[in-house]
């Protein structure tokens, strides 16, 4: 993980020494013209007479226009679009967009309207998120962004705390960890490898890590994880990461789907659908990163992450359609589709988490293609207990991660009925409400009376188009900021 140096400065925009000085432009509304918004330490006189329209500047989100650094200490100027609203979300996105689009610039100064601690935090966080670059698989001689040598400053009011960069950097590191893991080729990252990363990341932090191998999974009754991982030469793992501050009054359990590669098993995916299936462990990466961030931030909330890791492959030892698995809570599942495997590993993890009677369980998974059909590539599907769903939605809205609550209709229970077991894992040939049916399945593995929320991130976990905000192509780290925010909120209750 390579991250630039983050800092704040109280200099006026004209006095900031940087390779590029970035200023924000608000888009015109109701027929008005776009305008450069003064920074927290003042306006830039050098741009006072500039006709923005004549050079094509509109203030639209993600627009970046570079100008010569006339009349300023900086070598050059860049104007980044804020859209029509100036708030924490637009500043986070604009800062991230500017940094993302200036990968080879050694020093960047963001002179945005950060006139409060909240807005400074947003700009710093966006800048740190936008600096992400994944270079692990680049070959010799490939030109890659020199992010490790980059210096990023945010112009901030004089009363900004000296440690204002700490939280944004930790949050960005958490997102970067998710993105690094998910972007890594599946051949280089099996279940045991993810477990090794968890152990390494916990070193030096107030965390304990327990790794259950295939023998221990068998002894302790984790039939779902074992059943999914049975077809692979790389055996499954369950990793439990615990952050337990002595004074914590609340316990948040996070359960993540960790399918390091999903071929579909014997219910084999078509070739095109198999591309990108290295991302099917995003849920596990997300709950790991959120828990590490909670420890680094010193939150007063107990957080336990359950990483349910397996590789879903076809072989002579693979689980067959029609086989019956017994999950951790003793319930049996007839496997009607081996490509509906995520809910099997999550069922084990949620049942195990329930035994500890946490105050809330949140599971995270790239679970269903139906989520993408219903909500698209950027909006996470949210289901579960009404009160917790409302709280998760509020936190996600506050950090500008698009999310939408979905129902869990009772009539779907009938579709989960099995002739030979307690339930089936899928209704082959009936795709209606697939995201909701998966939620109804998972609901059966939540302990009685425990608030629960389910996050289906199948679409938002990976960005496949052109860049926007702080995101380029590849893994997004979606929902890690929401989970950190939820843990922060719980410590005050």
Tell me what pLDDT residue 49 has. 84
Tell me what pLDDT residue 2 has. 67
180 is in an annotated binding site: no
62 is in an annotated binding site: no
| Comparison of pLDDT for 492 and 284, the residue scoring more | 284
Length of the chain as a residue count? 493
Confirm whether 440 is a catalytic residue.
no
pLDDT band at 141 (very low <50, low <70, confident <90, very high): low
Tell me what pLDDT residue 167 has. 96
Tell me what pLDDT residue 392 has. 98
Report the percentage of the chain scoring pLDDT > 70.
Answer: 97
Tell me what pLDDT residue 158 has. 84
Q: What's the mean pLDDT when you consider all of the chain?
A: 95
The answer on pLDDT for 142 being more than 70 is: no
- Per-residue model confidence as pLDDT tens digits over 167-199: 999 999 999 999 999 999 999 999 999 999 999
Alpha-carbon distance of 483 to 286, in angstroms, equals: 9
Tell me what pLDDT residue 71 has. 85
Mean pLDDT, range 432-438, rounded to an integer? 98
Tell me what pLDDT residue 148 has. 64
Give the active site residue among 179, 234, 302, 343. 343
448 is in an annotated binding site: no
Give the active site residue among 151, 242, 269, 378. 269
The answer on pLDDT for 144 being more than 60 is: no
Residue 28's Cα: distance from chain center in Å? 32
- Per-residue model confidence as pLDDT tens digits over 52-73: 989 999 999 999 999 998 889 9
Tell me what pLDDT residue 139 has. 78
121 is in an annotated binding site: no
Mean pLDDT, range 379-405, rounded to an integer? 98
- Per-residue model confidence as pLDDT tens digits over 321-373: 999 999 999 999 999 999 999 999 999 999 999 999 999 999 999 999 999 99
The answer on pLDDT for 13 being more than 80 is: yes
341 is in an annotated binding site: yes
Alpha-carbon distance of 337 to 262, in angstroms, equals: 13
- Per-residue model confidence as pLDDT tens digits over 105-139: 999 999 999 999 999 999 999 999 999 998 888 77
Confirm whether 269 is a catalytic residue.
yes
Tell me what pLDDT residue 4 has. 83
- Per-residue model confidence as pLDDT tens digits over 237-290: 999 999 999 999 999 999 999 999 999 999 999 999 999 999 999 999 999 999
Tell me what pLDDT residue 143 has. 58
Tell me what pLDDT residue 233 has. 98
C-beta of residue 236 within 8 angstroms of C-beta of residue 284: no
Report the percentage of the chain scoring pLDDT > 90.
Answer: 88
pLDDT band at 88 (very low <50, low <70, confident <90, very high): very high
């Amino acid at each position: 993980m390579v991250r630039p140096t983050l800092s704040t400065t109280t200099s006026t925009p004209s006095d900031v020494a940087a390779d590029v000085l970035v200023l924000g432009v608000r888009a015109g509304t109701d027929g008005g013209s776009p305008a450069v918004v003064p920074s927290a330490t003042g306006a830039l006189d050098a741009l006072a007479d500039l006709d923005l329209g004549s050079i094509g500047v509109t203030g639209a989100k993600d627009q970046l226009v570079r100008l010569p650094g006339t009349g300023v200490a900086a070598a050059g100027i860049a104007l980044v679009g804020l859209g029509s609203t100036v708030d924490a979300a637009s500043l986070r996105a604009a800062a991230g967009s500017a940094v993302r689009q200036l990968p080879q610039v050694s020093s960047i100064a963001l002179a945005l309207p950060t006139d409060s601690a909240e807005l400074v935090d947003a700009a710093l966080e966006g800048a740190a998120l936008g600096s992400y670059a994944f270079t692990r698989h680049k070959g010799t001689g490939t030109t890659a962004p020199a992010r490790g040598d980059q210096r990023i400053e945010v112009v901030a009011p004089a009363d900004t705390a000296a440690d204002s960069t700490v939280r944004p950097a930790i949050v960005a590191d958490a997102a970067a960890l998710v993105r690094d893991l998910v972007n890594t080729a599946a051949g280089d990252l099996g279940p045991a490898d993810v477990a090794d990363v968890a152990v390494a990341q916990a070193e030096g932090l107030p965390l304990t890590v327990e790794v259950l191998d295939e023998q221990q999974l068998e002894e302790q009754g984790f039939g779902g994880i074992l059943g999914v991982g049975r077809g692979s030469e790389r055996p499954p793992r369950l990793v439990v990461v615990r952050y337990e501050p002595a004074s914590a009054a609340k316990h948040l359990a996070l359960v993540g789907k960790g399918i390091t590669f999903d071929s579909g098993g014997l219910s084999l995916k078509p070739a095109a659908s198999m591309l990108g299936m290295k991302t099917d462990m995003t849920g596990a990466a997300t709950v790991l990163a959120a828990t590490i961030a909670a420890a680094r931030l010193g939150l007063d909330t107990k957080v336990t992450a359950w990483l349910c890791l397996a590789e879903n492959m076809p072989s002579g030892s693979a689980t067959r359609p029609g086989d019956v698995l017994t999950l951790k809570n003793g319930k049996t599942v007839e496997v009607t589709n081996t490509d509906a495997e995520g809910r099997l590993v999550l069922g084990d993890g949620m049942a195990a988490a329930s035994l500890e009677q946490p105050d809330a369980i949140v599971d995270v998974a790239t679970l269903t293609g139906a989520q993408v059909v219903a909500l698209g590539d950027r909006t996470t599907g949210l289901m579960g207990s009404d009160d917790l769903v409302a709280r998760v939605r509020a936190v996600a809205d506050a950090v500008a991660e698009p999310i939408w609550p979905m129902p869990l209709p009772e009539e779907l229970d009938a579709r989960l009925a099995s002739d030979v077991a307690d339930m089936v894992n899928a209704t082959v040939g009936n795709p209606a409400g697939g995201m909701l049916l998966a939620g109804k399945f998972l609901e059966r593995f939540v302990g009685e009376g425990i608030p629960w929320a389910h996050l289906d991130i199948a679409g938002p976990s990976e960005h496949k188009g052109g860049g926007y905000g702080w995101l380029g192509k590849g893994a997004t780290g979606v929902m890690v900021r929401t989970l950190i925010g939820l843990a922060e909120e719980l410590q005050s209750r």
